[in-house]
Structure 1
Amino acid sequence: MEFVRLLLLFFHFVGLAVLIGGFLAQLPAVREGRARPATAMLHGALTQVVTGVALVGVAQGALDKEVDNAKIGVKLLVALIILVLILVGRRRPLSTPVFMTIGALALVNVGVAVFWT
């Protein structure tokens, strides 16, 4: 089961890379006033949410590890806010501050994962 956890963690990191990479790729369009989240950002955010929930399930269920539910709750809330902002931005252009919030929240989620012990 440890292999499954590591595989999920791998795809969780890939989702993060796709989300932040898609965000960075859209920055030139933001300067031109066309702030729309890329499809890659949507896929990265969805991957983050799905693999994150699966990681918690595997850790608590199969591996019988304790997880910090407060930390997981914060990370899930931030990921869902990112996902909602991306979905809204795919329907209509976002203002520059709202678009930049997506990238900032993605980095906040990394910070929570790394520094919250």
Structure 2
Amino acid sequence: MDVLISVFLGLHIIGIASLLGGFLTQMKAMGAGTARFVPAMLHGALTMLVTGVLLVGFREMDGGTVDNIKIGVKLAVLFVVLALVYVKRDEERVDKALFGAVGGLTMANVFIAVLWH
């Protein structure tokens, strides 16, 4: 079970990298007002959702404990990010504040995962 958890944790990190990487590559465009949500951002958010849910299930099946409040907060933040990216994915330009919010919420999710014990 440990190997399975490690594999899905790696996939979860790849999802985060895709979402955050897509945001970071658009930072210059955000300054110019031409930023858009690239497909990698949507795919990264979906990867995070699926692998995160599976990680919680695997951890509980393995007899480990899960902080349900932390997971709930992370899930709520991810749903907001996913909804924003999904709804605005086809637009040529996304408002700076909205685009920045997605990046900020993504980074907040990373810090919640790392710092909340």
Q: Which amino acid aligns with 1:38?
A: V
Please give the alpha-carbon distance, in whole angstroms, between the structure 1 residues aligned to 2:78 and 2:70. 12
SS of aligned partner of 2:57: helix
SS of aligned partner of 2:94: coil
Matched, 1:73 2:68: no
Q: Which amino acid aligns with 1:33?
A: G
Matched, 1:45 2:42: no
Please, what is the CA RMSD of the aligned residues? 1.0
Match of 1:24 in 2: 24
Match of 1:89 in 2: 88
After the TM superposition, list the runs of 4 or more consecutive aligned residues in structure 1 that deviate by more than 3 angstroms: none
SS of aligned partner of 2:33: coil
SS of aligned partner of 2:36: coil
> CA shift at 1:90, angstroms?
1.0
Please give the alpha-carbon distance, in whole angstroms, between the structure 1 residues aligned to 2:10 and 2:65. 20
Q: Which runs of 5+ in 1 are unaligned?
A: none
With normalisation by structure 1, the TM-score equals: 0.94
With normalisation by structure 2, the TM-score equals: 0.94
Match of 1:59 in 2: 59
Please give the alpha-carbon distance, in whole angstroms, between the structure 1 residues aligned to 2:46 and 2:21. 14
Identity %: 45
Matched, 1:35 2:35: yes
Please give the alpha-carbon distance, in whole angstroms, between the structure 1 residues aligned to 2:37 and 2:27. 10
Please give the alpha-carbon distance, in whole angstroms, between the structure 2 residues aligned to 1:91 and 1:16. 21
> CA shift at 1:28, angstroms?
2.0
Greater Cα offset, 88-97 or 75-84 = 88-97
Cα shift readout 1:33-91 (whole Å, capped 9, x = no counterpart):
22311111011111111100000010012x01110000000001111111001012213
